[in-house]
Chains A and B, each alone.
Chain A
Amino acid sequence: MNAQLKEIQVEQVDVVIIGGGPAGLAAAAELYRRGIHNLLVIEREKQLGGILRQCIHDGFGLTRFQTALSGPEYAQRFIDTIEELNIPYITDATVLEVTHERQVTAVTREGMRTWQAKAVILTMGCRERTRGAIGIPGERPTGVLTAGVAQAYMNLFNTMPAKEVVILGSGDIGMIMARRLTLEGAHVKAVFEIQPYPSGLPRNIEQCLNDYDIPLYLSHGITAIHGNTRLTGVTVSKVDENFKPIPGTEKEYKCDTLILSVGLIPENELSLDAGVILDERTRGALVDENFQTAAEGIFAAGNVLHVHDLVDFVSIEAESLADSVAKYVIEGSLKPAAISINTDCNIGYTVPQRVSGEKEFTLSLRVKRPMKDCRIVVRQAGKEVAVKKMKKAIPAEMIRFVISHEKLVSGSDLEVCVEC
């Protein structure tokens, strides 16, 4: 063995981007265009593209590319740019550690590799909430899996994971899998949602459930799982306004598979170890309008920051941090963000959570419950600084609008509220 190989050399780069999905690739291309060429995208899979590789349905790209694309096609547009511009990337490399000092260590088949970066961009995406995480009671047979896992089995691994199916949760991936499973001969009996409103987009209820006569039951939860080898069935109950099962409403559904579409969690385990502070509401980093986290020089965008409804906005968000990261790499610091953005009880969260007040920014937010004919108002010291009128606002949809800094003053926080 070559003695030199045994030592892990520290490689110097301007920017390391962790994750080669729709956020990471978009950020890489934009940074490159801004003259930051000494960068590296690190991807754990064998191919770039992230989760889009398994999202074979269409409906992506309408905003970013003004045309309807499937997930693989959408990803390929960015991959093609990466290849054309010759942007450095490695695949099959799993990052094990990001330090507060922006040292990144990854496992590769060639050995451990470490980079010292001037800036790190976190674009690791999100993971699915599991059965254990929501604590569904009952037995533990096989056949209980998340929608994304079912999607990967079918679309990447050519493996059929289900025949008689019940779906818990009306998240978009769950509904898309209801359709996908139906097209491949499985029988999807019903979708149950514990909330009194759907958590996915209306168009998916229409084209994934209604088109295939799959019923959606709101305010219903799964109260028991049956079977000690393969799943044999589930017990479903209506729930009250506190999500407590209503006795006497239990109904059994025979099925071999329960698919969960009960939420996504930003994948921030690496970020936490780097000293990034998370927002309890988004479970992503607290960031300013530059998408800089509480750890200086570490930035975040896409689903690792907050779970998006559309991939287009993931890429657009990642592209929009390029200016700031380029500036940070060149100048070594960015303006501090002293203005907090606070929300009322109708707003689930905002991104960013802090701003400097010295430049225009896009405010992303979600409402907590469905509302009609409302105004989303941003105030500073009692004065309206921005308003967005909404015919309807639903939690499934991320709301974005641009806020000009011209009306902002320093020394006073921003308040975001919904007025009906």
Chain B
Amino acid sequence: MLKEFTCIICPNGCGISADIEIKEGGDSLIRSIEGALCPRGEIYVKQELIDPRRNIATSVLVKGGILPLASVRLTKPIPKDRIFDAMEEIKKCCLKAPVTAGTVLVENILGYDADVIVTKSVPAGKLLK
């Protein structure tokens, strides 16, 4: 079975075609793969076949800071179908200024070995207006 993928690893967004054989038990075997400009494309396709993963970015509330929000992201992608569960966890968080970029907000979110980290420093102070 020929399957088309768009690699999301880098901005090149290679269109990758993979010939896949679905084996008994649901495992799939890649017979051939082409279209990727670099080896990361093949790794991406393999991962997509067994367990598609994505990173997300969002914000958390900051109290007493010069900005109302601090942006956050995951240190590693997590299974695609758990993104909204991760969002619910992140929504519960609230930070107190000062906040430093790189701070781990949630460790090992949903048990996937990925942390939620702050990506924007928010010094304490009056809200900038």
Chains A and B touch each other in the complex, with CB atoms below 8 Å apart: yes
Contact B101 A73 (CB under 8 A): yes
Contact A46 B128 (CB under 8 A): yes
Question: In the complex where A56-B58, A155-B59 touch, is A72 in contact with B101 (Cβ < 8 A)?
Answer: yes
| Chain A interface mostly | mixed
Contact of B6 among A68, A155, A203 (CB under 8 A): A203
The CA of A158 and the CA of B69, in the complex, are separated in Å by: 7
Stretch at the interface among B7-15, B22-30, B106-114: B7-15
Cβ distance B32 to chain A, nearest Cβ, rounded Å: 17
Interface string of B17-50 (1 = CB under 8 A from A): 0000000000000000000010000000000000
Contact of B73 among A47, A70, A154 (CB under 8 A): A70
Closest to A206 in B: B6
Q: Tell yes or no: A386 within 8 A of B by CB.
A: no
Cβ distance A40 to chain B, nearest Cβ, rounded Å: 22
Interface string of B43-73 (1 = CB under 8 A from A): 0000000000011111101000001110111
Interface residues on chain A, size class? 35 or more
Cβ distance A73 to chain B, nearest Cβ, rounded Å: 5
Contact A76 B101 (CB under 8 A): yes
Contact B13 A56 (CB under 8 A): no
The CA of A52 and the CA of B13, in the complex, are separated in Å by: 22
The CA of A399 and the CA of B108, in the complex, are separated in Å by: 39
Question: In the complex where A206-B13, A391-B37 touch, is A56 in contact with B120 (Cβ < 8 A)?
Answer: yes
Taking CB atoms, residues of chain A closer than 8 Å to B54 are 207, 211
Contact of B13 among A53, A71, A73, A202 (CB under 8 A): A202
Q: Tell yes or no: A62 within 8 A of B by CB.
A: yes
Closest to A68 in B: B55
Q: Tell yes or no: A156 within 8 A of B by CB.
A: yes
Q: Tell yes or no: A215 within 8 A of B by CB.
A: no
Taking CB atoms, residues of chain A closer than 8 Å to B13 are 201-204, 206
Taking CB atoms, residues of chain B closer than 8 Å to A184 are 58
Contact A56 B57 (CB under 8 A): yes
Contact of A158 among B10, B59, B80, B83 (CB under 8 A): B59
List residues of B whose CB falls within 8 A of some A CB.
6-11, 13, 15, 37, 54-59, 61, 67-69, 71-73, 80, 83-84, 87, 101, 119-121, 128
List residues of A whose CB falls within 8 A of some B CB.
46-47, 53, 56-59, 62, 68-73, 76, 154-158, 180, 183-184, 201-207, 211, 309-310, 391-392, 397
- Write 24 A-B pairs (CB below 8 A) sorted by A numbering: A56-B57, A56-B59, A56-B72, A56-B73, A56-B119, A58-B55, A70-B57, A70-B120, A72-B71, A154-B59, A155-B69, A156-B67, A156-B69, A158-B59, A158-B61, A158-B68, A180-B58, A183-B83, A201-B13, A203-B9, A206-B13, A309-B11, A310-B11, A392-B15
Give 10 closest A-B pairs by Cβ, nearest first: A202-B13, A56-B71, A72-B120, A203-B13, A206-B6, A70-B119, A158-B68, A203-B8, A57-B57, A207-B8
